[in-house]
Structure 1
Amino acid sequence: MDEKFLETFVRRTVDTADRTLKKYAFTPSGKKRPERKLLSKLSYNVESFLRDGENRVLVLYGLRGVGKTTMLAQIYFDLLSRVPRERLVYLSLDRLYPLGISLNDFIMAYERLIGERAEEFSAPTFLFIDEAHYDRNFGTAVKALHDSANNLMIIVTGSSSLPLKLDPDLTRRAKKLRAPPLTFTEYLLLKKGVHIPEKLSDALKDAFLSCNFTGIESILGGVLLKFSEKDVEDYLVHGSLPVYLNSENPLEDAYEILRKIIEVDLRHEGLSETTREKALGLLLLMASGESLTYDTITSTLGMSRDAVAKLLEKLEDLEVIFPVRAYGSIGKVARKTPKYKFLASIFRSAVLYEFGLFERDSKTLGMLLEDVAAFYLHILAREKRLRLHYDAQKGGADFILSGGKMGIVVEVGWGKKGTKQVLRTMKKTGLDCGVVVHNGKLENRNGVWFVPRELFLLML
């Protein structure tokens, strides 16, 4: 690579970063874009570095489209008033990749331009590396910088599989932040400016985990008047990714995100073109809501079981989908095909829309609500170190969240629901907590809590 060309490229990259990032941090009218809750954690780590040099490598990873670049842009502009522009280096590796420029090449050219080696930086310097998964060797370059530079903070973003590609030693030392899809409370904040008090969300979460909603209604105040039933539906259909904020057709744009995941990210994950071509068919089978087995998938798509397993594994690594495994012995779990849920419910909507199958009816909304309920339980399972399963027996409940001395059987429905499925699974598992998420009032029937879907959605 010609050094003069490379240095010109680096200089232009640094000089134009604010123009590159402006559209992510500000609206066309110049107003600051709303901030996700996760941004406060990013800001805390940045301030820690400026104060005492801690947290020098931060990895922000998650599903494509969750707003990682927007959060980088917001951090960039916050720092721009306090840190010289030449000390704020933003680069997206998807721009370097087609030019054949490695991250290491870029860093060495930046050192020449600033007149200092990384280990000698005389002032706090920030390196924002976006779309890191485009450079297979980025982990080596980041580790070398981390080991040598004392006045440098590196913030790396990439797909959900990014932590898997880090050097093991760096993985232990780096701060990792996972950017999930939007919860309903974030949707209300970003879309309508409606702030749900954190104390209320925490109280609802505690009530759910303790299986006791007594007294919850007394602390709601007027919060339920701040949004409508349509807001709930809109969130389920297209509100789980920030793309809805500025899109005329969020489902078309969400499908474009999916297409990039399939054509670009799966290729970087090493899947063959033949296997990638089957990915949309697989997602359509999942989006249709039919009960799937490995045999059904292999026969419908004309794929081997190994190829199906590999494709599912990579879609799971990229957090397009996630598995909810059967409850029971290890043998039963191994035999039964997991229930695969979309981490962002908008992807189910987008796939159905693309194939002309989307209807905003009770069946589709019910499937979307089950996706979101699974996503919420998935977050709780990670946060509380619990296990998430489903009851594979006929007529069993949708979900079982358990671990240690606690366990909750959960049934989710758009329309009317009874206690039959929950009680059957409670009896089978020996658990004494049952929750039905439904469209109705908060009440306890025969020891089972019926929780309005609005309250369930407000707990995260």
Structure 2
Amino acid sequence: MDEEKIKIFYQNWLNVVSQQADGYIYDEERNLLPTRDIFSKFKILIEKFLENQLEEYEKIWILPGIRGTGKTTLLMQLYKIERFLKPDDQNILKNIGKLEEIFYLDVSKLKLNNISLNEFFNFYEKAKGFNFVSLDRKLLLLLDEVHYDENWGLFLKVLFDSTKGHKNLFVIATGSSAISLRMNPDLYRRTTVMEVFPMKFSEFLILKYNKKLPVANLQDGIHEIIFNSSDAREVYLGLNQYAMEIDKFFANLQPNVEEGFFENGGLPSTIKITNKVKATEMIKAAINSIIAKDIIGMEKFKTQTIAKIYDLLYLLANSDTISYEKIKKSLKIERFETLDSLIEVLGMAGVLIKVKSYGMTYGPVRKTPKLLFITSSLRSAILDNQFWPGIEGKKLEDYFALIYVEGLKNKLAVDLFYDISEGGADFILTLKDKSKIIIEVGFNKEEIRQVMNTQNKVKGKYGLVFGSSKLELV
């Protein structure tokens, strides 16, 4: 590679990157845009990095996530982290001078110029007068869309191995190709993977309306009450402490704010778009991009099978529980293995969440899983925001599945099922102590029949019905 070409790219990049970052972190009035919850997690990691407290496995972070979840914005906010620090960030403020450089790089721009990561950082070492092996200064590397380099995994592996002798390098790499980021064999035991999920309702309120929950750490506190109590009475008493504040908070929200969240509010890339049709088209484009770039790139499926993916997503979006047999016949897919592989890949791509079934013997059974979307915004876009009454409640099922994978899994809970029997509950949540909570969700849901049906067979610790405006113990 011509070193002069890399030098020109590097100089041009330095000239534009700061201004480019400002476009991500400020609004039109030059006010700092709010951050997502994940920003705070990395602020803590940067604090550890500056104090030489990062563990070896924390040195390189891989952040997969579907397009539109704000991965680039996160990196830009970290690139300009000093502008987001507050007086109570004393430890970072005290040590920020130890940070020699924060370097943000869009790897897709390297690809466009036919420069590899390895070639660029060989030049970067020379330009900065150091090498990674003996790096004696704190360097934070932010690598955006890292999957555009075909040898990105090998590059990060070598970088990890080269810097074993010190704690002066911290790397955060993002990519929209969730499949390739998860499947790279070079990075086994060398990186930590943290998926960037679509937004929760609390994040939506902050980013769209700059409106915070009324009590600090309210979300974690409510999770603890709902999913870690000894019985239903303890849940009721715990929630009752917050009932008045929560009711007052929701009473002051704009009309139809929940509807807006479920339709287009799951992705940061669309929440500021007031034209609902345009926002929907952007989400559809993100879905098509996943199909075109992630799934086709695997070279695993025939062309005629690829052509059926969007039809498969539409069928899932417009159905309650649907059997593999019915999907197979509707889409004219010849083999169950092909259908199963398609669904598996859509899960790996971050589009679908597979919820296993509990069956007639009331243990996990190998039946058709419940297939939910990682955000109801995907389901809404696929259906052009047109829901028939029997499907409306799937928005809440999608949202609970997100709450599980993002906030409960491996923290309070270990598995999630649904009751496959007729009249059964939406979810059976298995906690770390193997006890179970029976859960039903829906809009204006007043009855407890489904929860009781499943409770009688599964013997859960307690049951919960989400959907009523009233807090009741029955």
Deviations 1:295-349 (A, max 9, x none): 2222222223222222211110121111001014899856411110001110000
Distance in 2 (alpha carbons) for counterparts of 1:331 and 1:224: 37
SS at match of 1:58: strand
- Residue 163 of structure 1, CA deviation: 5.1
Residues 127 and 308 (structure 1 numbering): CA distance in 2 closer, same or farther, change over 3 Å?
A: same
In structure 2, the partner of 1:220 is 243
Distance in 1 (alpha carbons) for counterparts of 2:161 and 2:205: 42
In structure 1, the partner of 2:93 is none
In structure 2, which of residues 320, 332, 345 is the aligned counterpart of residue 314 of structure 1?
345
Letter in 2 for 1:213: Y
Q: Answer yes or no: is 1:59 the counterpart of 2:82.
A: no
Distance in 2 (alpha carbons) for counterparts of 1:412 and 1:422: 10
SS at match of 1:265: helix
Alignment of 1:151-162 (within 5 A): 151-159=168-176, 160-161=178-179
In structure 1, the partner of 2:429 is 401
Q: Answer yes or no: is 1:410 the counterpart of 2:439.
A: yes
Alignment of 1:286-297 (within 5 A): 286-297=316-327
- Residue 53 of structure 1, CA deviation: 6.6
Conservation of the 8 A alpha-carbon contact between 1:293 and 1:337: yes
SS at match of 1:306: helix
Alignment of 1:83-122 (within 5 A): 87-122=101-136
Residues 132 and 270 (structure 1 numbering): CA distance in 2 closer, same or farther, change over 3 Å?
A: farther
Residues 87 and 215 (structure 1 numbering): CA distance in 2 closer, same or farther, change over 3 Å?
A: closer
Distance in 2 (alpha carbons) for counterparts of 1:257 and 1:153: 30
CA RMSD of superposed structures (Å): 2.7
Deviations 1:6-39 (A, max 9, x none): 2211332233221232222222332211011111
- Residue 390 of structure 1, CA deviation: 0.5
- Residue 78 of structure 1, CA deviation: 1.6
Distance in 2 (alpha carbons) for counterparts of 1:380 and 1:329: 27
5+ long unaligned stretches in structure 2: 85-95
Deviations 1:255-294 (A, max 9, x none): 1111111111223333444433221111100110243222
Letter in 2 for 1:236: F
SS at match of 1:245: coil
Deviations 1:61-100 (A, max 9, x none): 3232211111110010125896799933322223333443
Distance in 2 (alpha carbons) for counterparts of 1:267 and 1:10: 32
In structure 2, the partner of 1:374 is 401
In structure 2, the partner of 1:340 is 371
SS at match of 2:386: coil
Conservation of the 8 A alpha-carbon contact between 2:225 and 2:238: no
Letter in 2 for 1:176: V
In structure 2, the partner of 1:233 is 259
Distance in 2 (alpha carbons) for counterparts of 1:341 and 1:437: 17
Distance in 2 (alpha carbons) for counterparts of 1:317 and 1:350: 20
In structure 2, which of residues 222, 225, 230 is the aligned counterpart of residue 207 of structure 1?
225
Conservation of the 8 A alpha-carbon contact between 2:66 and 2:290: no
Distance in 2 (alpha carbons) for counterparts of 1:334 and 1:309: 16
Distance in 2 (alpha carbons) for counterparts of 1:413 and 1:331: 23
Distance in 2 (alpha carbons) for counterparts of 1:274 and 1:84: 55
Conservation of the 8 A alpha-carbon contact between 2:283 and 2:381: yes
Conservation of the 8 A alpha-carbon contact between 2:99 and 2:139: no
Residues 27 and 336 (structure 1 numbering): CA distance in 2 closer, same or farther, change over 3 Å?
A: same
Alignment of 1:65-80 (within 5 A): 65-78=68-81
Distance in 2 (alpha carbons) for counterparts of 1:338 and 1:125: 45
Conservation of the 8 A alpha-carbon contact between 1:269 and 1:314: no
Conservation of the 8 A alpha-carbon contact between 2:413 and 2:430: no
- Residue 352 of structure 1, CA deviation: 0.6
In structure 1, which of residues 428, 431, 437 is the aligned counterpart of residue 466 of structure 2?
437
Distance in 1 (alpha carbons) for counterparts of 2:8 and 2:46: 29
SS at match of 1:179: coil
Q: Answer yes or no: is 1:176 the counterpart of 2:187.
A: no
Distance in 1 (alpha carbons) for counterparts of 2:27 and 2:98: 24
Residues 332 and 302 (structure 1 numbering): CA distance in 2 closer, same or farther, change over 3 Å?
A: farther
Residues 215 and 76 (structure 1 numbering): CA distance in 2 closer, same or farther, change over 3 Å?
A: closer
Conservation of the 8 A alpha-carbon contact between 1:323 and 1:341: yes
State how many pairs are aligned: 440
Distance in 2 (alpha carbons) for counterparts of 1:46 and 1:163: 22
Distance in 1 (alpha carbons) for counterparts of 2:366 and 2:241: 46
Alignment of 1:208-287 (within 5 A): 208-209=226-227, 210=229, 211=232, 212-227=235-250, 228=253, 230-248=256-274, 249-272=278-301, 273-287=303-317
In structure 2, the partner of 1:14 is 14
5+ long unaligned stretches in structure 1: 446-460
In structure 2, the partner of 1:35 is 35
Which runs of structure 1 show a deviation greater than 4 angstroms over 4 or more consecutive aligned residues? 79-86, 328-334, 360-364
Residues 84 and 387 (structure 1 numbering): CA distance in 2 closer, same or farther, change over 3 Å?
A: closer
In structure 1, the partner of 2:211 is 194
Residues 302 and 93 (structure 1 numbering): CA distance in 2 closer, same or farther, change over 3 Å?
A: farther
